[in-house]
Amino acid sequence: LISCEHGARRVTRTELTGHVTVLMDSFDGKRLNAPNDVVVKSDDSIWFTDPGYGILLDYEGGRADFELPTRVYRIDGQTGAATVVIEEMDRPNGLCFSPDESILYVADSGTPKHILAFDVNDDGTLSNSRVFADMRPGLADGMRVDEDGNLWTSAGWGGADWNGVHCFAPDGTLIGRIHIAEPGSNVCFGGYFKNRLFITAGRSLYAIFLNTRGVQTP
């Protein structure tokens, strides 16, 4: 289990035995802000966002000063070496790959509130940054893709009609929304056929069966 820990400001791997290995807690001798979301690519590289929400308030971690800019990092699956892959985003948040891993989607919950798409290069770098979807007046958080390449992102903070999950086609067209009673924070496909979408929120866990199946990450 790969986890982002706000309080400890680190990314860890928990083994089946319960042993915890720290994968990354600093960069260039400075502490990470508060890693937020993480995805593992098929080459075993680990990609995570570090927006710092966990050190803005005591509620989500512990108030502290920023030592690093808000960034997206990549940990090499073979060497464990860390590199910065994105540093032009205000508050990088949820992230996921397209089904063929040629595109990385990253939600920016800062300003402007949009989802960016990047081409993934063979050397682990990113290029061709572009706006995939404008999430104003609300914002996007955790996200996943289905087997057809549609992007399912949790959403909220834009009014009652905005709370829940927004589904976008691969070209960025909004397909539809799933409404819940509070802002959504993350999503995950599960169930025997991987056709059940689980939605986390501030106080609740929701689930809904869909007519599609999620792409399963390693």
Which of 65, 87, 109 lies at the terminal end of a domain, its last residue? 87
Report the CATH number that the domain containing residue 66 is assigned in CATH. 2.40.10
Same domain? 19 vs 36: yes
Same domain? 205 vs 99: yes
Same domain? 4 vs 111: no
Same domain? 81 vs 161: no
Of the candidates 52, 81, 80, 53, which has an alpha carbon nearest to the alpha carbon of residue 67?
52
Same domain? 3 vs 68: yes
Same domain? 107 vs 200: yes
pLDDT in tens, 201-212: 999 999 999 999
**pLDDT score of 218:** 52
Same domain? 47 vs 155: no
Same domain? 98 vs 169: yes
What domain range is 66 assigned to?
A: 1-87
Same domain? 109 vs 157: yes
Mean confidence (pLDDT) of the chain: 96
Active-site residue flag, 25: no
Same domain? 127 vs 215: yes
Cis peptide before 112, with omega less than 30 degrees from 0?
Answer: yes
Which of 59, 87, 115 lies at the terminal end of a domain, its last residue? 87
Question: From the candidates 37, 50, 108, 141, which is the catalytic residue?
Answer: 141
Query: Percentage of the chain surpassing pLDDT 70?
Result: 99
Report the CATH number that the domain containing residue 184 is assigned in CATH. 2.120.10.30
**pLDDT score of 196:** 98
**pLDDT score of 58:** 77
pLDDT in tens, 155-201: 999 988 899 999 999 999 999 999 999 999 999 999 999 999 999 99
Which of 56, 87, 118 lies at the terminal end of a domain, its last residue? 87
**pLDDT score of 181:** 95
Residues 6+ apart with CB under 8 A from 105: 95, 96, 97, 98, 115, 116, 117, 118, 132, 143, 145, 151
Domain count, the chain: 2
Same domain? 46 vs 130: no
Same domain? 155 vs 214: yes
Please answer whether residues 120 and 104 qualify as being in contact, where contact means their C-beta atoms are separated by less than 8 angstroms: yes
